Structure 1
Amino acid sequence: MKFILFNAREDEKAAIASYQKEHPEITLDIYSEDLTEETMAYMKKGYEAIIVTQVVEIPEAAYRLMKEVGIKVFAARSAGFDMYNLQLLKELGIRFTRVPVYSPFAISEFAFTNAMYLSRDVDLIQNNVETGDFRLKESITSTEIRKKTVGIIGTGNIGRQTAQLFKNSGANVIGYDIYPSKVAEDFLTYVSSVEELVEQSDIISLHVPATKENYHLFNKELFEHAKKNLILVNTARGSLVDTTALLDALDNQQIRAAVIDTYEFEGPYINKKVDLEEITDEVFLRLLKHDRVLYSPHVAFHTHTALENLVHIAIDGARRILLGEEVEEELKLDE
């Protein structure tokens, strides 16, 4: 078998090497670049699968070249797939696999930790310390988590694990999902709508995919339903939140703070060293500079366990499909 892998990062090298060691029968050609009109020239006849993890849009010509050179499987080293042209893959007869579950603990721990950081006013305390202000005062008198209600939107693997962390810490946890889970009811109580959840919650953590229905789920109108002390946590997809509406809600003190790990238009910046002076996206700059936003560059998933699972499961999904095996992670495009 001969595979081609794009977007290889330094932090993935150990995981890629360990997979190669386990499967010497696979020839794996590795490139650090994104798949673009320039780098698509790396694809030659003989490759049977392509392995990618890419936020930047893949050109249509690259998809068509995959078909021409004989690629049969497109394997994404990610859970999300909204960045890939599944309709075109379907038309070309190229099968698609991904990694829907790689480590729910990684993202849930990140969401929980950062929410607690803001909930206990650690950001305000640190700001005071930096100016030599060591006084105890009302502005840094926080409320314990057991006195708060945490809302979980999306109660799949990651949402359930996040709910469990908050529940075990003593919070009242509520949830909303168009497909409620009996398992999740061990850790939360379902409410009937997103609006109801927003009205009750002191902390909200998002764990739903980017779909047309979820586009700008959190918008100006929904923020108007929120408590003034709300902390919004988005470790899911940037398009779930209208960022301008979020920043306005923060400025107007409609909500208290936000943890943002995914930004809607992050493609040009993620996993790159960027000169901040050269950023032209005014909304992104406003997000970065806002003192009530705890921003991180799409790193919630980033643990050794998650990296190894993302690499191994993606490559192995392609291998097993080519061997004729049933692969749970495959997204059936012809159904």
Structure 2
Amino acid sequence: MKIAVFSAKPYDREFLNAANVTEGHQLKYFDDPLELETVELATGNDAVCIFVNDTADAAVLDALKRGGTRLVALRCTGFNNVDLKAADRLGVRVVRVVDYSPNSVAEHAVALLLAINRRIHRAYNRTRDSNFALDGLMGFDFCGKTVAVVGTGKIGRVFTRIMLGFGCKVIGYDKFPSPEFEALGASYARPLEIGSSADIISLHCPLTPETFHIINADSLGRAKRGALLVNTSRGGLVDTEALIEALKSGQLGGAALDVYEQEAELFFRDLSSTIITDDVLQRLISFPNVIVTGHQAFLTREAVTTICQTTLRSVTEFETGQPLSNEIRTS
């Protein structure tokens, strides 16, 4: 099949080309994101392959359908950027990567947590300037602390295993409780327990209307003073303005973020020679107790290999009339 690949970075091209050796599709790469202004690039392609910050709303899907596209293949797990009802109405099928490497995201969350707690980012900058003073670099032991995991799916459970290995007590919250989570030795939180007892809160849930701004002024106000927040899931889970206020007041001890709710115009691009006009992000990254990475938690060889193989295999299933193993359904 002919596939238009949007937001194609060098690593996308490398790993998709490798996966395509066995699948045999025609891949056409575009650096541009999929949006209404670029949708005509997909004309004549049977499928489009998109990533987290591409837009597949009703208008874009309608234009894709008119151009001959019958399949949207997400090379990611989240699908909040796709209007599934519009896709269903238009007869456009949608597939995603349900499972790639939960280890990659969970391990990045732990790396961020270690860095923000032990001030690794600040120490790194100091020693490059031959400043070996330790003032302001004190963290705390993880052993014996309480970690709240919001979202106890595969990634949340890998993160849980790691934190239990540090000697932490782990409590969780999920709309759909997992026996596997409890079997690890963790427990689900009682009402208000996360806010009152968690020294660390790590987000591993999808972005849905129910979870939008699940971290907000109210939940931050109820959090244990000085707690650390980690988000490697989706930016929209966190009300960034409320986060900034909690950091300013000292209510939150620090934040380590791999995602940002307004990242679409910023992340996955080199903007080092430009002026960033997003004042909220600029304020956020100015805090010494904040680390922001550019949505890289998924970026391991193992994860990207699986993502590309799964994506192209889904296209092959569609082409050959097989059931779509990773289809997203509206009901």
Alpha-carbon displacement from aligned partner over 1:79-107 (angstroms, at most 9, x marks no partner)? 11111222211110111100121110111
* Cα distance between partner residues in 2 of 1:264 and 1:167: 30
Q: Which of residues 245, 260, 272 in structure 2 aligns to 1:263?
A: 260
Residue 51 of structure 1 corresponds to 49
Residue 78 of structure 2 corresponds to 80
Contact preservation (8 Å) 1:231, 1:255? yes
Paired residue secondary structure (1:3): strand
Paired residue secondary structure (1:29): strand
Residue 34 of structure 1 corresponds to 33
Contact preservation (8 Å) 2:116, 2:290? no
- Residues 60-71 of structure 1: pairs in structure 2 closer than 5 A: 60-71=58-69
Residue 216 of structure 2 corresponds to 219
Call closer, same or farther: CA 1:113–1:59 in 2, change over 3 Å: closer
Residue 14 of structure 1 corresponds to 14
Match status 1:303 vs 2:300:
yes
Contact preservation (8 Å) 1:203, 1:231? yes
Call closer, same or farther: CA 1:292–1:183 in 2, change over 3 Å: same
- Residues 1-335 of structure 1: pairs in structure 2 closer than 5 A: 1-24=1-24, 26-45=25-44, 47-58=45-56, 60-123=58-121, 125-126=123-124, 129=127, 134=132, 140-187=137-184, 188-193=186-191, 195-275=192-272, 278-333=275-330, 335=331
Amino acid across the alignment from 1:28: L
How many positions carry a matched residue from both structures? 330
**Displacement of 1:30:** 2.4
Amino acid across the alignment from 2:253: R
Alpha-carbon displacement from aligned partner over 1:161-190 (angstroms, at most 9, x marks no partner)? 000111112111111111110011133111
Paired residue secondary structure (1:256): strand
**Displacement of 1:8:** 1.4
Call closer, same or farther: CA 1:128–1:71 in 2, change over 3 Å: closer
Contact preservation (8 Å) 1:120, 1:142? yes
**Displacement of 1:36:** 3.3
**Displacement of 1:7:** 1.8
Amino acid across the alignment from 1:201: A
Amino acid across the alignment from 2:167: G
**Displacement of 1:286:** 0.4
* Cα distance between partner residues in 1 of 2:201 and 2:70: 41
5+ residue gaps, structure 2:
none
Alpha-carbon displacement from aligned partner over 1:97-125 (angstroms, at most 9, x marks no partner)? 00121110111000011112222343565
* Cα distance between partner residues in 2 of 1:135 and 1:72: 60
Contact preservation (8 Å) 2:77, 2:97? yes
Contact preservation (8 Å) 2:40, 2:67? no
Amino acid across the alignment from 1:110: H
* Cα distance between partner residues in 2 of 1:135 and 1:65: 59
Contact preservation (8 Å) 1:49, 1:71? yes
Contact preservation (8 Å) 1:112, 1:162? yes
* Cα distance between partner residues in 2 of 1:128 and 1:18: 41
Which region of structure 1 is more displaced relative to structure 2, 109-118 or 27-36?
A: 27-36
Contact preservation (8 Å) 1:218, 1:241? yes
**Displacement of 1:276:** 6.7
* Cα distance between partner residues in 2 of 1:189 and 1:178: 14
5+ residue gaps, structure 1:
none
* Cα distance between partner residues in 1 of 2:144 and 2:36: 54
Alpha-carbon displacement from aligned partner over 1:44-101 (angstroms, at most 9, x marks no partner)? 34x3222111514346443223222332211111111111222211110111100121
Call closer, same or farther: CA 1:238–1:38 in 2, change over 3 Å: closer
Call closer, same or farther: CA 1:125–1:4 in 2, change over 3 Å: closer
**Displacement of 1:14:** 1.8
| TM-score (norm. length: structure 2) | 0.92
Alpha-carbon displacement from aligned partner over 1:234-278 (angstroms, at most 9, x marks no partner)? 001111111111111111111110001111111111111114752
* Cα distance between partner residues in 1 of 2:132 and 2:319: 63
Contact preservation (8 Å) 2:147, 2:199? yes
**Displacement of 1:15:** 0.9
Call closer, same or farther: CA 1:255–1:319 in 2, change over 3 Å: same
* Cα distance between partner residues in 2 of 1:306 and 1:97: 17
| TM-score (norm. length: structure 1) | 0.91
* Cα distance between partner residues in 2 of 1:59 and 1:217: 23
Which region of structure 1 is more displaced relative to structure 2, 27-36 or 124-133?
A: 124-133
Paired residue secondary structure (1:271): coil
* Cα distance between partner residues in 2 of 1:259 and 1:44: 40
